[in-house]
């Protein structure tokens, strides 16, 4: 085992299977590295959560829900979890193409209020909905669907979507019914803000409606110039009346079918909102749907999980061990410059 400074420099210090390539990002809950799996010569993304009290039930839920979706090609594949002296590490497939937010900014049409061309937006949307239906069939509501959590597998003109974050997910067969406000203000469904309890799956459909809106317009439906950007609570207060009234500007440059679908997804009453099954029968969704995707989820349900996938019990044991603090009680150590 190395010193605390070694692990500060490289969370994978001394690991025999994974070697750090570079930092990818800092998420809400920890750092993410790009690493090489020396056993397979494949690149993987590894998320590191500091050991200790922060590793709670929600972390276990995130990992187990992510693991359940392991066979879906439009969901970042869960590989395994392991412990280091400092972290709980979650190994995933690496999505090399960045996130959808960056993609939309880079590829949107130059006119204000116009986003991706409609066939491109539709191709992404089809994959997103099919991946989400798979989660919903397994009882999992994601509760944080947004462009930034939707990664892409490559930088080519029409890459594949990979849903990546299960940090707020809930499984209806295991967890209690959602009560807390979770998600990002711009994507939050009205009932999440207003009801004592809500159906996380219906709230996901609203968030996908917001995503579709951004894909075809390049702007957020309920945001206005002058809204707060730094404080989520203030931003939510400013947007609240617009969200509950579904007050958004209909994008007139897109087809009437696309406008219809947007209106049906951004319907404030969850009981009247379009269901995921109805979305998959909608004429806009069905247009140019690749034949293999039509029955993809049905086929995948019968697909065997990868050989050697860690069992639920193994994961529970590792996560439980991670609730104990790191090898160094005063982690993170201060460096010579006094900073992390
Ligand atoms: P998360 O904590 O899951 O929200 O991840 C934080 C950020 O790390 C994401 O916004 C991505 O930029 C990056 N990231 C997470 N997982 C992956 C992955 N599997 N492949 C590539 N980048 C990732």
pLDDT at residue 219, rounded to an integer: 95
Which of 4, 2, 14 lies closest to 332, judged by CA? 4
CATH 1.10.510.10 domain range(s) in the chain: 100-289
The tokens for 35 are 């690493």
Pick the range with the lowest mean pLDDT from 81-90, 175-184, 218-227, 289-298: 175-184
The tokens for 298 are 């049905």
CA 182 to chain CA centroid, Å, is 13
Q: Yes or no: say if 183 and 163 are a contact pair by the CB < 8 Å rule.
A: no
Q: How far is the CA of 25 from the centre of ligand 1 (A)?
A: 7
Please say if the pLDDT value at position 327 is more than 80: no
**Which protein residues are within 6 Å of ligand 1, measured from CB?**
24-25, 27-29, 32, 45, 47, 76, 92-95, 99, 148, 151, 164-165
Q: pLDDT tier at 27 (50, 70, 90 boundaries)? A: low
Q: Yes or no: say if 190 and 244 are a contact pair by the CB < 8 Å rule.
A: yes
CATH number (3.50.50.60, 3.40.50.970, 3.30.420.40, 3.30.200.20) of 4-93+306-320 reads 3.30.200.20
Ligand 1 nearest-atom number relative to CA 95: 20
pLDDT at residue 337, rounded to an integer: 46
Which of 29, 32, 49, 162 is the best mutation target for the ligand 1 pocket, counting ligand atoms within 8 Å of the beta carbon and taking the most?
Answer: 32
CA 62 to chain CA centroid, Å, is 11
Ligand 1 nearest-atom number relative to CA 149: 10
Please give the average per-residue pLDDT across 97-113, as a whole number: 93
pLDDT at residue 306, rounded to an integer: 86
Which of 161, 156, 43 lies closest to 106, judged by CA? 156
CATH number (2.60.120.10, 1.10.510.10, 3.30.230.10, 1.10.150.570) of 100-289 reads 1.10.510.10
Cα(20)–Cα(25) distance, integer angstroms: 13
pLDDT at residue 28, rounded to an integer: 66
Q: Yes or no: say if 77 and 40 are a contact pair by the CB < 8 Å rule.
A: no
Q: How far is the CA of 62 from the centre of ligand 1 (A)?
A: 14
Q: pLDDT tier at 8 (50, 70, 90 boundaries)? A: confident
Please give the average per-residue pLDDT across 158-170, as a whole number: 92
CATH 3.30.200.20 domain range(s) in the chain: 4-93+306-320
pLDDT at residue 335, rounded to an integer: 56
Cα(293)–Cα(263) distance, integer angstroms: 25
Mean pLDDT of the chain: 91
Please say if the pLDDT value at position 340 is more than 80: no
Which of 48, 164, 183 is the best mutation target for the ligand 1 pocket, counting ligand atoms within 8 Å of the beta carbon and taking the most?
Answer: 164
Please say if the pLDDT value at position 338 is more than 60: no
Tens digit of pLDDT for each residue in 178-205? Answer: 777 767 889 999 999 888 889 999 999 9
Pick the range with the lowest mean pLDDT from 178-182, 269-273, 282-286, 323-327: 178-182
144 carries an active-site annotation:
yes
pTM (two decimals): 0.92
Looking at 144, 186, 199, 204, which residue is catalytic? 144
Cα(210)–Cα(275) distance, integer angstroms: 15
Cα(32)–Cα(27) distance, integer angstroms: 7
Q: How far is the CA of 247 from the centre of ligand 1 (A)?
A: 32
Cα(6)–Cα(12) distance, integer angstroms: 9
pLDDT over 90, % of the chain: 71
Please say if the pLDDT value at position 314 is more than 70: yes
Q: Yes or no: say if 48 and 11 are a contact pair by the CB < 8 Å rule.
A: yes
């Amino acid at each position: 085992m190395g010193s605390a400074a070694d692990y500060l420099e490289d969370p994978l210090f001394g690991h025999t299977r994974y070697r750090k390539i570079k930092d990818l990002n800092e998420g809400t809950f920890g750092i993410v590295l790009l690493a090489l799996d020396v056993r397979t010569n494949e690149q993987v993304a590894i998320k590191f959560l500091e050991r200790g009290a922060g590793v709670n039930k929600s972390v276990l839920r995130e990992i187990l829900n992510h693991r359940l979706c392991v066979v879906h090609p439009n969901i970042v594949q869960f590989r395994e979890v392991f412990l280091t002296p400092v972290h709980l590490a979650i190994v995933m497939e690496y999505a090399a193409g960045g996130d959808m937010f960056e993609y939309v900014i880079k590829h949107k049409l130059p006119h204000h209020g116009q986003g991706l061309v409609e066939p491109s937006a539709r191709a992404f949307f089809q994959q997103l909905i099919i991946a989400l239906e798979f989660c919903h069939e397994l009882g999992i509501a994601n509760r944080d669907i947004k462009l930034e959590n939707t990664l892409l597998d490559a930088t080519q003109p029409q890459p594949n979507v990979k849903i990546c974050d299960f940090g707020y997910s809930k499984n209806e067969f295991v967890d209690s019914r959602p009560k807390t406000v979770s998600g990002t203000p711009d994507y939050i469904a009205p009932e999440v803000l207003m009801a004592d309890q809500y159906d996380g799956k219906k709230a996901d459909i609203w968030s996908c409606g917001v995503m579709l809106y951004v894909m075809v317009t390049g702007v957020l439906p309920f945001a206005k110039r002058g809204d707060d950007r730094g404080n989520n609570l203030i931003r939510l207060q400013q947007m609240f009346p617009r969200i509950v009234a579904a007050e958004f500007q209909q994008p007139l440059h897109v087809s009437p079918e696309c406008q219809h679908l947007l209106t049906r997804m951004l319907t404030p009453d969850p009981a009247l909102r379009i269901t995921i099954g109805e979305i998959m029968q909608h004429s806009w969704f069905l247009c140019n749907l690749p034949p293999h995707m039509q029955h993809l989820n049905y086929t995948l349900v019968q697909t065997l999980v990868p050989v050697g996938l860690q069992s639920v019990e193994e994961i529970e044991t590792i996560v439980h061990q991670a609730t104990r603090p790191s090898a160094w009680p005063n982690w993170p150590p201060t460096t010579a410059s006094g900073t992390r």
